[in-house]
A and B are shown apart, each in its own frame.
Chain A
Amino acid sequence: MMTPFTASPGDEGEALPSVKPRSARTWLAFVRNRTGLIGIVIFVGFVVLGLLAPVIAPGNPATITMHIMSPPTAHYWLGTTAEGQSVWSQVIWGTRPTLVIGFIAGALTTALSIIIGVGGAYNGGALDDVATMFSNIFIVIPGIPLMIVLATYLHHAGTVAMILVISATGWPFGARVLRSQTLALRKRDFVQAARLTGESTWGIVQRELFPNMISLIVANFLSTIMYAIGAEVSLQFLGLGNINTVSWGSMLYWAGNYQALAFGAWWWIIPPGICIALVGGALALVNRSIDEIANPQLTSAPKRGRLHRGGTGS
């Protein structure tokens, strides 16, 4: 019937079978999930494009030539700007600042959300009150106008200033979501159980709470990148960033400035627009697939005949 509680010699030889580590299985799940795969391929494609810019479009993208407002030709694949710059070259090089600012601002914003949201909710009391008050204040301040004011104040914001402005206005939404999730988890029995086995506070946050929130945190991170890219493009389009750097936002700014649309120069406006939409769409797709993967109950509809194969009842 049952194994006696005293150790029997046979147990000593028992060893664990090797199983693929959790992280490997997660990546495999991503590849299997078509939505996620498409998103990752598009996003990674843009990252590669940015990295390989010197190879794909050699030369300075800001170089001025005599061929102004040229429609797409064999030489200028995507035509030229009013200053005779190659749009192809600008789109490729413009990937770099856009993604870098999006990624760093997204990471910083998420970190702020975690510290303020999780920290406040887990500790409770006055700390939570203060954290909630700040989130509430920041959440009612309209983001874009505040960003415009801050960016104007910082006067043609450089990369660092741009990242700080986006992070300062972007954190409260994530903080509130993570706070409510922390509050819901904190009172659960398994958190109590971990405390009763002697787990430290940091151990509980790290080992019991975070794994349950990781999909939320990653989803939050990805949407923050989308938000950051959108915010960055808007600021540059409004001429509040550094208009002399080549990025998708500044391309749109100059296109607007030279009234590209009035001259019928669609090739100047549509490529950066499509790129922004593609990056945003790719992140949204990855986000959706994370939700599917992180909730194993939702996706693991077992294949026929494998239902509860290991279950023996008790």
Chain B
Amino acid sequence: MTEPEGVPILSLTHVSKTFFSGRRSRIDAVRDVTFHLYPHEIVCLVGESGSGKSTTAHLIMAMETSTSGTIRYQGQDVARLRGRSAHRQYRRAVQMIFQDPYASLNPVHTAGYTIGRPMEIHHSIASASQRNKAVLRLLRQVDLTPPAEFYYKLPYQLSGGQRQRVAIARALAVQPALIIADEPVSMLDVSLRAGILQLILQARDEAGVTFLYITHDLASARYIGDRILVMYRGIICEEGMADAVINGPQHPYTKALIEAVPNPEHLEDGGTVDDTVIPSHPSAPASPGCPYYALCPVSVAECQQNLPDWTELSGKHRVRCFHVADARHGVKT
């Protein structure tokens, strides 16, 4: 995949989401997030649990409204969709695949109904017999064969991988331009993951769907992603082409994240698994600065005070870190 170009299909500009619970407790789930998705690319949003990646998905799906900032789909502000038809158009254009295929399919509906219903809602295919054919074709495409048999299967008769294939077929049913996939393989057996990832790649290559692939797993992000956005406690701290981020991480958090992945090659060399695990819930108080400052080995006083701005590196690679910014300007830290 070449570098992104052209007009973005989806743009998030300075998007923040704050949840309040009670008077004192305030959680900045998403802080000043800006990114763009270009047509036909797969962008991976990588982060640990609690990093705000699912909240970002919910904001894009208009399940939540942002506290500040704008989300634009093809130039149109998602928060300002007015009227039934505008909502319907957006629902048709942007679909979502849920994490848990055991919860995202209604236990009383057959696979055929689940996949055919979106077509019915959006009248994308007029006649019932044409719709049935389209459903059978989708079942075949997601490799549930023979499709005529799977058409009548209820969720409890399907395995987790098969269920997720039904969920993907449902998302593809109305030929969306963009699909938000919220950890679609994390609930599946490792042996089934490659098949689902393959399916996503195929949907991109052949149906031209753009994907925002949300995951906590760097390995699958590297496998599937054209670009990677690394998210930590509400902010995107590094973004760039997948290879550039994985091979040359710049942000201290990204570095720690990549080192935390057990590497079998090192084991063979007699090394051990690096156990410098990143504490998942550091007790650092909410500060206006970089959320990683308390754990960061190279943090400076400024890190706690201010949120660093983007430092552009080569290509589309950019980082939000004072340390990197200073290094590039030749200042010793």
Contact = CB atoms under 8 A, between A and B. Distances in A.
Interface in A287-314: 296-297, 308, 310-314
B202 A189 contact: no
A193 B159 contact: no
A194 B167 CA distance: 11
Interface in A183-234: 188-190, 192-194, 196-199, 203, 207-208, 211-212
B106 A310 contact: no
Contacts, number: 113
B229 to A, nearest CB: 22
A14 B107 contact: no
Contacts of B170: 193, 197
Contacts of B87: 198
B159 A314 contact: yes
Interface in A56-96: none
Given A2-B141, A2-B143, A311 B159 contact: yes
B159 A190 contact: no
A263 interface: no
Contacts of B121: 197-199, 203
B115 to A, nearest CB: 10
Interface stretch (B95-103, B254-262, B271-279): B95-103
Nearest to B156: A297
B133 A12 contact: yes
Contacts of A2: 141, 143, 198-199, 202
B224 interface: no
Contacts of A14: 133, 136-137, 147-148
B192 A314 contact: yes
- Sort chain B's interface into a size bin: 35 or more
B137 A7 contact: yes
Contacts of A196: 61, 63, 91, 95-96
Contacts of A12: 133
A211 B137 CA distance: 27
A24 interface: no
Contacts of A190: 103-107
A296 B98 contact: no
A197 B91 contact: yes
A211 B108 contact: yes
Given A2-B141, A16-B132, A196-B95, A212 B107 contact: yes
Interface string B219-230: 000000000000
Contacts of B161: 313-314
Contacts of A16: 112, 132, 136, 148, 151
A30 B235 CA distance: 57
Interface in B65-89: 87-88
Contacts of B136: 11, 14, 16
Interface residues of A, number: 36
Contacts of A314: 143-144, 159, 161-162, 165, 192, 195
A9 to B, nearest CB: 12
Contacts of A192: 63, 98, 104
Interface in B106-156: 106-109, 112, 117-118, 121-122, 132-133, 136-137, 140-141, 143-145, 147-154, 156
A193 B168 CA distance: 12
Given A16-B151, A190-B103, A314-B162, A5 B91 contact: no
Of residues B87, B122, B140, B145, which shows the largest number of chain A Cβ atoms within 10 Å of its Cβ?
B140
Nearest to B167: A193
B157 interface: yes
Contact of A193 (B96, B149, B192, B202): B96
B307 interface: no
A140 interface: no
A189 B98 contact: yes
B223 to A, nearest CB: 17
Interface of B: 61, 63, 87-88, 91-92, 95-96, 98, 100, 103-109, 112, 117-118, 121-122, 132-133, 136-137, 140-141, 143-145, 147-154, 156-159, 161-162, 165, 167, 170, 174, 192, 195, 198-199, 202-203, 206-207
Nearest first, the 4 closest Cβ-Cβ pairs linking A and B are A5-B206, A314-B161, A198-B91, A189-B103
Given A192-B104, A197-B118, A314-B195, 16 more contacts: A3-B141, A11-B137, A11-B140, A14-B136, A15-B132, A190-B105, A193-B96, A194-B117, A197-B117, A199-B117, A211-B108, A296-B154, A296-B156, A311-B158, A311-B159, A313-B162
